[in-house]
Amino acid sequence: MEVAVGSELGIWQKQQSDAHVAECIAPNVTFLGVADGFGFAARGTSTAMLALGTVRDYLRRRQRLGALGARSVSQGSMRALLLSALDHANARLFAQSGSHEDFVGSGTSLTAVLVVGHHAFIGHVGDARAYLLRVGHVESLTVDDAMFADAAVTSMKGSVPAKPRTRSLLWRSLGTQTKLEASIAQVELIAGDQLLLCTDGIHRCVDADELGEAMQQSPTATDAVSLLLSTVRARGNVDNATLIVGRDLLVPTLPSAGRDRLTEIKLRALIALLMLATALVSFGIYVLRFAPVDRAGILTTDR
């Protein structure tokens, strides 16, 4: 799978409130996620980073317990697993933010995609989005949990920078209530599909058609990310903007730990070969320098 990630500060933004994760957590299982938070959790940790990190770590632990093994993977179990991960992150964030029924300390929008074989499972809360590009058509896989989320974007393809959408008002986000009712969806993937996840700093300035065009016209995922960030920058985006583009979704992937282990094995084998070669060369030098030789040039030994 080819994955590219990009993020930048908006105009007048002094710190990054977005976060992203793109990681293979098991053979042929990839976790992608973006989050846009407000406020800070315990010890000044970014809300978005804490939320995404908690979801990722929960999935890692469950993977070590066999939740992503070949026999345990089913569509129902994957939906339940992703929902449990979001519930866990919500409870942790709510507890660490100091929020209660009359006060909201912090929260975050979060959209996460778990690509398992030929299926993508989408967990969503807030106004971060996931899009699917299929056969030249782009489709939103999420619905914003916000008021004014569908306000029109004007002058999108003109030479004049577009005016960003009216800031939406979230009515559901992660970490702002004791019980989270996240949206969970799934889609069966086919060859050629592309995924795009983004925070509202992207989709408030770039419409769905433009997102699709950028993914189609760009030769690589990295090029698509660069093009979209350049477009957002040119339109004077005032919010932090983060996106992930994924291609070749059906290509089997290997966890980073597995790749590291394979690299380690290869490195150890190379070192062993070098040590053996060094030993052979040293032995050859010793024989040539110190072993007695008769007149006929044949090695002799003392009796």
Number of domains in the chain: 2
Domain span holding position 293: 255-303
Q: Within this chain, do residues 180 and 263 fall inside the same structural domain, yes or no?
A: no
Tell me, what's the pLDDT at 32?
A: 97
* Residues 181 and 204 grouped into a single domain: yes
**Which DSSP string do the residues of 164-232 spell out, in sequence order?**
PPPPPEES--BTSSSS---EEEEEE--TT-EEEEE-HHHHTTS-HHHHHHHHHH-SSHHHHHHHHHHHH
Scanning the structure block, which residue is given the tokens 């004791």?
178
Considering the domain architecture, whether residues 231 and 301 belong to the same structural domain is answered as no
Instruction: Verify that 73 and 217 share a domain, yes or no.
Output: yes
pLDDT at residue 166, as a whole number = 52
pLDDT at 168: 64
**Predicted pLDDT of residue 73:** 76
- Check residue 287 and give its pLDDT: 73
Same-domain pairing of 42 and 185: yes
pLDDT at 161: 43
- Tens digit of each residue's pLDDT, the chain (303 residues): 999 999 998 877 778 889 999 999 988 899 999 999 887 766 667 899 999 999 999 999 999 988 887 666 788 999 999 999 999 999 999 888 766 665 566 789 999 999 999 999 999 999 999 999 999 999 999 999 887 655 444 444 544 444 444 556 777 889 888 888 899 999 999 999 999 999 999 999 999 999 999 999 999 999 999 999 999 999 888 889 999 999 999 987 776 554 445 555 667 777 878 788 787 877 777 777 766 555 444 444 454
pLDDT computed for residue 270 by the predictor: 77
Amino acid at 257: A
Strand, helix or coil for residue 47: helix
Cβ contact 211:134 at 8 Å: no
Q: Give Cα 126 distance to the centre of its chain.
A: 18
pLDDT at 276: 81
| 100 and 28, same domain (yes or no) | yes
pTM for this model (two decimals): 0.78
Q: Do residues 153 and 294 both lie within one domain? A: no
**Residue with token string 């004007």:** 154
Q: In DSSP terms, which residues pair with 243 in a beta bridge?
A: 6, 198
Q: How far is Cα 176 from Cα 99, in angstroms, rounded to an integer?
A: 7
Q: What's residue 169's pLDDT?
A: 77
Q: Please state, as a whole number, how many other Cβ atoms lie within 10 Å of the Cβ of residue 257.
A: 12
Please check whether residues 236 and 277 belong to one and the same domain: no
68 & 103 share domain: yes
Length of the chain counted residue by residue = 303
